[in-house]
Amino acid sequence: MRRRVLPGFGLSLGYALVYLGLIVLLPLAALAWKASGIGVEGLIRLLSAPRTLAALRLSLGGALLAALINAAIGLLVGWVLVRYRFPGRRLLDALVDLPFALPTAVAGIALTTLYAPHGWLGAWLEPLGIKVAYTPLGVLVAMVFVGFPFVVRTLQPVLASLERDVEEAAESLGARRWQTFFRVILPVLAPTLLTGFALALARAVGEYGSVIFIAGNIPMHSEIAPLLIVQKLEQFDYAGAAALGAVMLLLSFALLVIVALLQRWSGRWAERTT
């Protein structure tokens, strides 16, 4: 019925498919084709190379840790922004999106300058023996920065829709504040928190611009996987770059699937609780 009344099905879908095919699918096919040129043996050799392993470990491990930190801080910041009224709240709320809006290269050089031994923060941390710039810790700082908005922005609508009477009921039944938080509030937030976590993780795994400046890029120590792809390209090792790119792509695919499943789960969760 609908299909007959509204026009433009062929035109809009056709245009969208051709565009998507040319911009996304064709290049991805080229990636798959080039990557397969390396062969199973080549792939194993590439992935078992210590330098590749170290880079993948840093990208994935750093991203996991950064996403965990972001889940904790994001929960705190989201909670404060939704629950409490204080001067400057709206400004801070708008500021949360800064890592989305600030180009990664700008964030990269700003963070590096800030945490360099003579920087505003680096000068404070240096006497404490904490070196951030040009170490894996710097990679972590940059990853926390770029992933920060995800958890806050996913949590905020759910936090705002929390029914306060459930908390009041818990407290009138004698629960302490932390008991209410861990037994009543956190279970409801858990699926959303996980979604935010996964989004922050996916972003940080592939992050390049904000990380490469602060990382120092020392092979085996502070070199991330995307940088290794760039280096392979610069050495005209197209097959190696493609294979590593395909591995990174599969990783993002897996994360994308997890996010979709989590969203479906949290949707069902919301239906059941309301």
Partner 1 sequence: MSRRLRSRPPGWPRRLGHVALILVAVAFLVLFLVLPLATVFVEALRQGFAAYVATIRQPEAVAAIRLTIIVAAIAVPLNLLFGVAAAWAMTRFEFPGKAALGAFIDLPFSVSPVVSGLVYVLLFGAQGWFGPWLDAHGVKIIFAVPGLVLATIFVTLPFVARELIPLMQAQGSEEEEAARILGASGWQMFFRVTLPNIRWALLYGVLLCNARAMGEFGAVSVVSGHIRGLTTTMPLEVEMRYNEYDYMGAFAVASLLALLALVTLAVKTLLEWRYGDEIAAHAPGGR
What are the φ and ψ backbone dihedral angles of 38, each rounded to 5 degrees? -75, -25
Whole-number Å distance between alpha carbons of 264 and 258: 10
Buried residues in 125-153 as b, exposed as e (16+ CB within 10 A): bbeeeeebbbbbbbbbbbbbbbbbbbbbb
**Helices (H), ranges, 208-273:** 209-215, 225-234, 238-273
Residue 28 binds partner 1 (CB under 8 A): yes
Which of 54, 58, 66, 104 binds partner 1 (CB under 8 A)? It is 104
| Part in contact with partner 1 (CB under 8 A); list of ranges 1-9, 45-53, 130-138, 180-188 | 1-9
Which of 45, 113, 125, 265 binds partner 1 (CB under 8 A)? It is 113
Number of residues that bind partner 1 (CB under 8 A): 97
Among positions 136-175, residues that touch partner 1 (CB under 8 A) are: 144-145, 148-150, 153-154, 157
Which of 43, 46, 66, 79 binds partner 1 (CB under 8 A)? It is 79
Residue 20 binds partner 1 (CB under 8 A): yes
**Helices (H), ranges, the chain:** 2-5, 9-20, 26-36, 39-48, 50-83, 89-95, 98-101, 104-115, 122-125, 136-160, 164-172, 177-180, 186-206, 209-215, 225-234, 238-273
Residue 55 binds partner 1 (CB under 8 A): no
Residue 207 binds partner 1 (CB under 8 A): yes
| Part in contact with partner 1 (CB under 8 A); list of ranges 46-54, 106-114, 183-191, 215-223 | 106-114
Number of Cβ within a 10 Å radius of residue 92: 12
Q: What angle do CA 26, 30, 31 make, to 5 degrees?
A: 115
Whole-number Å distance between alpha carbons of 15 and 9: 10
Shortest CA distance to 113 belongs to which of 104, 123, 103?
A: 123
Among positions 241-260, residues that touch partner 1 (CB under 8 A) are: 241-242, 245, 248-249, 252-253, 255-256, 260
Question: What is the nearest approach in angstroms of partner 1 to the Cβ of residue 266?
Answer: 12
Residue 72 binds partner 1 (CB under 8 A): no
Count Cα neighbours of 70 within 13 Å in the Cβ-side half-sphere: 36
| Part in contact with partner 1 (CB under 8 A); list of ranges 26-34, 125-133, 162-170, 182-190 | 26-34
Using only C-alpha atoms, the chain has a radius of gyration, in whole angstroms, of 23
Among positions 186-205, residues that touch partner 1 (CB under 8 A) are: 196, 199, 202-203, 205
Residue 176 binds partner 1 (CB under 8 A): no
| Part in contact with partner 1 (CB under 8 A); list of ranges 28-36, 38-46, 48-56, 182-190 | 28-36
Which of 44, 47, 49, 98 binds partner 1 (CB under 8 A)? It is 98
Question: What is the nearest approach in angstroms of partner 1 to the Cβ of residue 261?
Answer: 12
